[in-house]
Amino acid sequence: MSGFFQILIYGYGNPGREDDGLGYAMVRKLEAWVRESGISGIEFDTNYQLNIEDAEAISGKDLVFFIDASTEEIEDFILTDVNGESDVSFTTHAASPGYIVKLCSELFSKAPPVKLLHIKGYQWEFREGLSEKAKSNLQNAFSFMKEYLLNLQTNIPKLKT
């Protein structure tokens, strides 16, 4: 992947609440893999939640992946598109990916393609470490993301439509 195409991979959630740390865990795995593979053009970030400042962070990117734990009824993970109409909400404690895209578009008159990787979680108690089922889902999502990133050159036209 060449350096002219800039990607941000941003995991969020609370690693002190068991499976809520899936976003952090995925970023750490991908970051190590990217570094070992010598791939350029990918930046990483993590936080407990998305914030309005993240609109600026995504504004200069060509593609953004947000990664979060999911309580939804999905198998192990799912990758969905995010736009300014997708689950747009903001409270004093959290901003949704859709809100960040909407804000980016409003403030900077542009927004990159954004995807949300939802990884199925099961346990949410106040302690560190992922459940065994979440670890399995994390590994499946990691394998998918490695292949997706390696094949990104053929996916770029689809992302821009």
Q: Give the strand pairing for 63-70 and 114-120.
A: parallel
Which pLDDT score, from 0 to 100, does residue 24 have?
A: 97
> Average pLDDT of 37-41?
90
Which pLDDT score, from 0 to 100, does residue 95 have?
A: 87
Question: What are the C-alpha distances in Å from 57 to residues 40, 76, 108, 161?
Answer: 18, 28, 11, 22
pLDDT > 70: what percent of the chain? 88
User: What dihedral angle (degrees, nearest 10) is formed by the CA atoms of 126, 29, 155, 9?
Assistant: 60
DSSP string, 121-132: -----SSSS--H
CB atoms within 10 A of CB 93: 8
Judge contact between 61 and 7, C-beta under 8 A.
yes
Domain ranges of the chain: 7-159
What are the tens digits of pLDDT across the range 86-97? 665 655 457 899
Superfamily of 7-159 according to CATH: HybD-like (3.40.50.1450)
- The answer, yes or no, to whether residue 129 has pLDDT greater than 70, is yes
Which pLDDT score, from 0 to 100, does residue 90 have?
A: 55
143: amino acid identity, one letter: S
